[in-house]
Structure formats: structure tokens, C-alpha cells
Amino acid sequence: MTEADWLKLALLCLAGAASPGLSWLIIVTMSANHGLRAGLAGAVGHGLGITVFALTTVFGLSAILLAAPELAYLLTWLGIGLLAYFGYRLARAGVPPLPDQLTTGAGFFAGFLVAIFNPKVLVFFLAVFGPFIDPNHSRPTQVSMGVLAGVIDALVYTLVALFALGARRFLHTERLLHLNRGLGIILLLSSGWLAVQNT
């Protein structure tokens, strides 16, 4: 890949990570409600999940999904289900489905799972990341592409966690509940729209 290709890939990864969504909500909630360590663990876990997704895409997910469309269908519906579940819990209770006492390990695992099952991530890697894939690329280049996506993602969500911690004084319980309920309704509507698009 040329330097221009690397720059374009980095900017696309940055844009994908920086766009708000389910992942933002989870990391913000972790950091605001459970402290910086939980938020940072979630950010690192999310970055690892993105790295796994990116490497899987680089080493053949696109080809696999083209050969087995039912797998893409299954992954999409798993993601829609996760989106609907989080949206329902948020709209109903105003609190994401996270343990009251969130350990660093649990935060890491939650961040990882959100990255793996987020429909936005699947769409991003197939539609945006995919065109950069070339079977003729060397193995180090392919690995570097996946690692680049994961590192950028982890850095962005580290900043999100730090922002949430700094804004915690403004996100008192009642305001956070209202904000989460509003986001929950948006997530439910998004899952409904995705479900209609995939039927």
C-alpha cells in the first residue's frame, strides 16, 4: 500500500470510531458510572474487538461472506438483537445492562463484545475497510492494517472514557437517566429500521 492509502485507511478508521453509537454509549456509561479504570478497560476491549474484526476481514471475511451469505445474515441479526436489547433496557430503566459492580475485566469483556456484535462494525468493515484488501499484500501489511484499525479505535474510546469522566459532574443521575432513555429509544428505532432493511 502507498502512503496515501495508509492515510486514507487511517482517516476512515478514525471517522468510523468517532461516529457516535452503541459503543460510545457503553464506554461513556462505564467511565461515568464505574470510574476511569472500567472505561479504559472497555476502550481497550473494544479496540481488541475491532482488531479481531479487521484481521478477520483482511484474511478472508469478505470472501467467506460472499461464499456463505447466510453467515452475514446471521451476524447482522445477532447485531440487531443486541441493539434492540440495549435499546429496550435503556428506554425502560435508563441504565445500560451492565453489572452494578463493574470490574476492570468485565469492562474489557463488555467492550470486546460490543465491538464484535455491533452491526455498524460489520457494515463498516465490509463496505469501507474491504476495498483496501488485496490478496497480493504481504502478511506484515495485512496484519498492520488490522492493528491500525484496532489501535485507532482504542485511542478514540480512551478519549471518550476520559471525556465521560470529566463530564461526570454534569451527568448527575437524573440527567443521565433521561439521556439514556432518549438514547435507548433511538437504539430501538435503529434496530427496527435495520430489521426492516434486512427482511
Spans of the chain, pLDDT less than 50: none
The set of cell numbers assigned to 30 is 462505564
pLDDT at 130: 63
pLDDT at 155: 94
pLDDT at 156: 92
The alpha carbon of residue 149 and the mean position of all alpha carbons in its chain are separated, in whole angstroms, by 12
Please spell the DSSP secondary structure of 118-138, one letter per residue: -HHHHHHIIIIIGGG--TTS-
pLDDT at 75: 66
pLDDT at 184: 72
The set of cell numbers assigned to 39 is 472505561
For residue 171, CA distances in Å to 31, 33, 168, 179 come to: 11, 10, 5, 9
- Helix or strand holding residue 157 (H, E): helix 139-166
pLDDT at 193: 77
d(CA 38, CA 106): 8
pLDDT at 102: 60
pLDDT at 158: 92
* Half-sphere exposure of residue 101: CA atoms within 13 angstroms, side-chain side: 0
